[in-house]
Amino acid sequence: MTGPLVPVEAVPDWLRPLVDASRVAAPERFSRVTAPPFDGARKAAVLMLFGDGSGEGDGSGDRVGPDVLLLRRADTLGSHAGQVGFPGGGAEDGEAAVETALREAEEETGVAPEGVRPVAIFPELYVPVSRFAVTPVLAHWHRPSPVRPVDPAETAAVARVPIAELADPANRFQVALPGAGWRGPAFTVRGLFVWGFTAGLVSALLELGGWDAEWDRTDVRALDVALAEHEARTAARRT
pLDDT (tens digit, 9 = 90+) per residue, 157-214?
Answer: 999 999 999 999 999 999 998 887 889 999 999 999 999 999 999 999 999 999 999 9
Rg (Cα) of the chain, in Å, rounded?
Answer: 17
* Residue 130: per-residue pLDDT: 76
Per the CB < 8 A criterion, the answer to whether 75 and 82 are in contact is yes
Residues of the chain with pLDDT > 90, as a percent, come to 71
List phi, psi (to 5°) of 232: -65, -40
**Using CB atoms within 10 A of its CB, is residue 201 exposed (0-12), middle (13-18) or buried (19+)?**
buried
pTM of the model: 0.91
Domain span at residue 7?
Answer: 3-238
- What's the whole-number mean pLDDT along residues 75-96? 84
Ramachandran assignment for 191, one of left (phi > 0), alpha (psi -120 to 50 degrees), beta (any other): left
CATH number at residue 106: 3.90.79.10
Q: Which of 69, 30, 36, 33 is nearest to 185 (CA)?
A: 30
Element (H or E) spanning 20, and its range? helix 16-21
Q: Which residues contact 76 (CB under 8 A, 6 or more apart)?
A: 153
Both ends of the chain: CA-CA distance in Å? 49
Per the CB < 8 A criterion, the answer to whether 120 and 48 are in contact is no
**Using CB atoms within 10 A of its CB, is residue 224 exposed (0-12), middle (13-18) or buried (19+)?**
exposed
Residue 63 has pLDDT above 80, yes or no: no
**Using CB atoms within 10 A of its CB, is residue 34 exposed (0-12), middle (13-18) or buried (19+)?**
middle
Residue 221 has pLDDT above 80, yes or no: yes
Per the CB < 8 A criterion, the answer to whether 138 and 18 are in contact is yes
Per the CB < 8 A criterion, the answer to whether 70 and 147 are in contact is no
Residue 57 has pLDDT above 60, yes or no: no
Domain count for the chain: 1
